[in-house]
Chains A and B, each alone.
Chain A
Amino acid sequence: MLAQLLASTLRVSTPLIFAALGGMFSERAGVVNIALEGMMLLGAFGAAVGTLVTHSPWLGSACGMGAGILLAALYGLFAIRLRANQIVAGTAINMLALGLTPFLCKILYDVTGSTPPIPIDQRFRTAPLYLSWVLVLVCWVWMKRTPSGLWISFAGEHPEALNAAGIRVNRVRWLAVLISGALAGMGGASLSIFLSSSFSRNMTAGRGFMALAALIFGKWKPVPTAIACLLFGFAEAVQIRLQGVSLLGSKPIPVQFIQILPYLVTILVLAGFVGHSRAPKAAGTPFQRE
């Protein structure tokens, strides 16, 4: 029972971890990334199509990451190059992904709902789950121990200082946003070819925003962010098991109440802890060299 609960928690939090780590790169570098949801969605689609074409989940997830990078590049164009408002641009990217995926689906397979199912032997069984935790470690080392990790932090905290040190701030931000797209795309891929067997319309169902909340709760640091994702995953897994359970032998707890648990946890956690959590200082402010 406990082992199953744990396994369920790990599965449910896998896409969140990828997306939240992706968000971390972009936001630590000073680009608010509300577009995670859209990047995940296009990533989920890209991965499903890639797997259907290549019959390999690995190549498929590479396609998913590629799709995420493409969308991130578009976002970067607006948010970094053209210095657009990042919230507005991010929302636009989300809406674009929402409309683009059924459209492409229609062109490729003449259906608007979902891609054809992927056979079980061409899907991931557990790989993305382990990969996500390896990635947490890699990100931790990267941000803590490498010069490029430091540049990313400075691009988000003191872009002027980074600029004065002779590093191009916007180049660092571009890199961070593209990594962000790749990881969010991988998060989407784990939805379509790991946790289910096809892409279906709007299948992310708000997971990109959950990832964003986990990122804020995790204070923009890799390990706490991953733990926050685990917490959300746990709330979801418990929610699944609590449905229909009766308390004190009376009528079952209303299912609607149980279903709000993950969201309730999100709100409580954010309201309770975000006071100590501070966003990168320059997040949301486009950088322009004088």
Chain B
Amino acid sequence: MPRKKDMTRMCFGRSWSGLLCVALLCLAGLGLSSVAMGAEFKVGLVLDRGGKDDKSFNASAYEGAMRAKSKLGIFLKYVEATDDNAFEPLLRAFAQRDFDLIIGIGFAQKEAIKKVADQFPQKHFALVDSIVDSPNVRSLMFEEHEGAYIIGSIAALTSKTGKIGFIGGMDIPLIRRFEMGYTAGAKKINPQITVIANFVGVTGEAWNNPPKGKELAVTQYEGGVDVIFAAAGASGMGVFDAAEEKKKFAIGVDSNQDWTKPGLILTSMLKRIDEAVFTTIQEGQAGKFSGGVKRFGLASRGVDYSFDQYNAKILTEPVRKQADELKAEIIAGKIDVPDYYKKH
């Protein structure tokens, strides 16, 4: 049987990584093929490495998709990438199946989305936090600097020591954008304030290293800082632990994290990824999907600060009032919030 022989040679001639990819794709395909056939709108969600339970960035995206599932009756399948090389096969596995809309969460998926979207021009894609210039891709961008500006002002208004901190995951433009807005907002309230900025790491692990986040926070608190804004994914949990031990304030990010340590999380900078994801799915289902960049800022409540029963006692009325005034001024265009993306 010459044909079988050729097949064998072809298979084993390939590199192991190739084989592994094929195996992975088959597995992913198997998982997806169990999908029931039907006319319902199918959404594939590819989460970042933090996973759906990071209580922050991915959790917000997952929440939006789940809301769409229960409210709009769509079919939802989500996967969590374990490393950056997994994005492309995962996205492609969705695209090859009968999924109508594929949503990638996180800037790390930019190249993978670009590649897969160009290969499947009839499918719709959405990407959070990065811009892909393809007609079938919607880029969901948040004006983090605006939200961070308000957070900075809240931190400065609450701080008694005149020293506030910032702990980012990796030193990347996105996180610098948070930091720049935060610092500007704090300086608006108190021009003499000191802002100490630290970063957890240089690799993707930086988003998932709570012990390091805690050590950074302890160092800042010991140095006189009394409010820390953590924009570090799951590493932020370590910052909250430090706040608990030192009885100081911390500020959450992306999702509302006030509940994780009631009375210690001053507020959270909300990034309504859930809203963006929900709206995208809703429009997709209604046949109104459009490509291009969608921006979510303070005006559209895409970014905001949180206020609920968990921080009601610590986020005082006068502080909220001032923050809301600043918010109105930014929306009215009276304050020019520095944007790292535009300055670099």
Looking at A20-28, A67-75, A153-161, A196-204, the stretch in contact with chain B turns out to be A196-204
Q: Which listed residue, B202, B222, B244, B245, touches A4 by the CB 8 Å rule?
A: B222
Scan residues 219-276 of chain A and give those whose CB is less than 8 A from a CB of chain B. 236-237, 240-241, 243-244, 255-256, 259-260
Return the chain B residue nearest A252 by Cβ.
B197
Within 8 Å CB of B214, what residues of A?
Answer: 195-196
Q: Are B202 and A259 in contact (CB under 8 A)?
A: yes
Asked if A102 CB lies within 8 Å of chain B CBs, one says yes
- Listed residue (B53, B196, B215) with the most chain A CB atoms within 10 angstroms of its CB: B53
Q: Are A255 and B51 within 8 A (Cβ)? A: no
Residue from the list B80, B82, B202, B209 in contact with A260, Cβ < 8 A:
B202
Are B199 and A113 touching (Cβ within 8 A)?
A: no
Task: Give complex CA distance A11, B212 in Å.
Answer: 11
Residue of A nearest to B211 (CB): A195
Task: Tell whether A191 is near chain B: CB-to-CB under 8 Å.
Answer: yes
Residues of A within 8 A of B271 (CB): none
Chain B residues near A15 (CB-CB < 8 A): 211
| Nearest CB on A from B1, distance (A) | 34
Query: Is residue B171 contacting chain A, with contact meaning CB distance below 8 A?
Result: yes
B147 within 8 A of A: no
Task: List the B side residues contacting A260 at CB < 8 Å.
Answer: 202
Among B102-110, B130-138, B234-242, which stretch is in contact with chain A?
B234-242
Answer yes or no: A120 CB below 8 A from chain B CBs. Answer: yes
Assembly CA distance A200 to B219 (angstroms): 22
Partner of A8 from the list B50, B197, B219 (CB cut-off 8 Å) is B219
Residue B230 lies at the interface, judged by CB distance under 8 Å to chain A: no
B218 close to chain A: CB less than 8 A: yes
Residues on the B chain within 8 Å of A237, using CB: 215
Can you spell out 30 A-B residue pairs with CB atoms less than 8 angstroms apart? Answer: A4-B219, A8-B219, A102-B51, A112-B52, A112-B53, A112-B80, A113-B53, A113-B54, A114-B237, A195-B211, A195-B214, A195-B238, A196-B214, A197-B210, A198-B237, A200-B208, A201-B51, A202-B205, A203-B209, A240-B215, A240-B216, A240-B219, A241-B219, A243-B197, A243-B198, A244-B196, A244-B197, A256-B202, A259-B199, A260-B202
Q: Which 3 A-B pairs have the closest CB atoms?
A: A113-B53, A111-B53, A195-B211
